[in-house]
C-alpha cells in the first residue's frame, strides 16, 4: 500500500513539474511580428533596422537565451550597439562596468551582399571603435538573423535574433 502511494505522489509531482516547465517556457517566448522578404529587403537596402538578440553563442561555453533586451540599431548615420559579452577578454576594460559590447559609431562602412533570393549578408566595420572590428549579419527573408561580432581584444561571439523596423 505504501509503495502505491509513493508512486502516486511521484507521478503527480512529475506532472506538476512538467506543467510548470511548459507554462514557463510559453510565457518567456518573445512575440515577434513576422516580416515579409520585401520589408526585409527595404530595411537592408536602406540600412535602417534593429537587430534584437534572442540567444548568444560564445566561442567558449554553451548557447544562452537572453532574458533582457539587447540590440543593434543600424541607421544611415550611426550604429548603436548594446549587446552582452560572454567569453575571454585578452585586455581588461578600463571601466569595469563596460563589460559588454556597448558603443555608438558614426564612422563606419556598410556593405551588403545578396547571397540568394531571400538571404543577405551585411558587413559593418566601425572605424571609430578600437574594440569591435566588424559586425557580420546574415539576414533571412522572414526577418530572422544571425550576428557574428569580431573583436580586437576578445573572443568572437555570435547572436541569433530577429529584425525590427525602426519607428519614426
pLDDT digits (tens, 9 = 90+) for 37-60: 889 999 999 999 999 999 999 888
**Are 76 and 143 contained in the same domain?**
yes
Is a pLDDT exceeding 50 seen at residue 28? no
Is a pLDDT exceeding 70 seen at residue 75? yes
| Global pTM value | 0.76
**Are 6 and 78 contained in the same domain?**
no
Rounded distance between C-alpha atoms, residue 83 and residue 156, angstroms: 13
**Are 140 and 91 contained in the same domain?**
yes
**Are 1 and 43 contained in the same domain?**
no
Rounded distance between C-alpha atoms, residue 6 and residue 46, angstroms: 64
Rounded distance between C-alpha atoms, residue 160 and residue 167, angstroms: 22
Total domains present in the chain: 2
The parent domain of residue 82 ranges over 37-164
Q: Say which residues have a Cβ less than 8 Å from residue 167's Cβ, sequence separation at least 6.
A: none
Q: Which helix (H) or strand (E) holds 37?
A: helix 37-45
What is the CATH number for 134?
2.40.128.410
Amino acid at each position: 500500500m505504501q509503495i502505491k502511494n509513493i508512486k502516486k505522489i511521484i507521478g503527480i509531482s512529475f506532472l506538476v513539474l512538467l506543467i510548470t516547465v511548459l507554462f514557463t517556457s510559453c510565457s518567456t517566448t518573445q512575440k515577434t511580428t513576422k516580416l515579409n522578404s520585401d520589408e526585409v529587403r527595404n530595411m537592408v537596402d536602406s540600412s535602417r533596422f534593429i537587430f534584437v538578440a534572442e540567444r548568444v553563442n560564445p566561442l567558449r561555453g554553451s548557447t544562452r537565451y537572453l532574458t533582457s533586451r539587447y540590440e543593434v540599431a543600424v541607421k544611415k548615420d550611426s550604429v548603436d550597439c548594446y549587446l552582452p559579452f560572454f567569453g575571454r577578454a585578452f585586455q581588461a576594460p578600463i571601466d569595469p562596468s563596460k563589460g559588454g559590447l556597448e558603443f555608438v559609431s558614426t564612422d563606419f562602412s556598410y556593405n551588403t551582399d545578396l547571397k540568394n533570393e531571400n538571404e543577405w549578408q551585411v558587413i559593418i566595420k566601425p572605424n571609430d571603435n578600437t574594440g569591435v572590428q566588424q559586425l557580420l549579419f546574415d539576414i533571412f527573408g522572414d526577418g530572422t538573423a544571425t550576428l557574428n561580432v569580431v573583436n580586437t581584444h576578445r573572443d568572437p561571439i555570435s547572436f541569433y535574433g530577429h529584425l525590427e523596423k525602426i519607428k519614426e
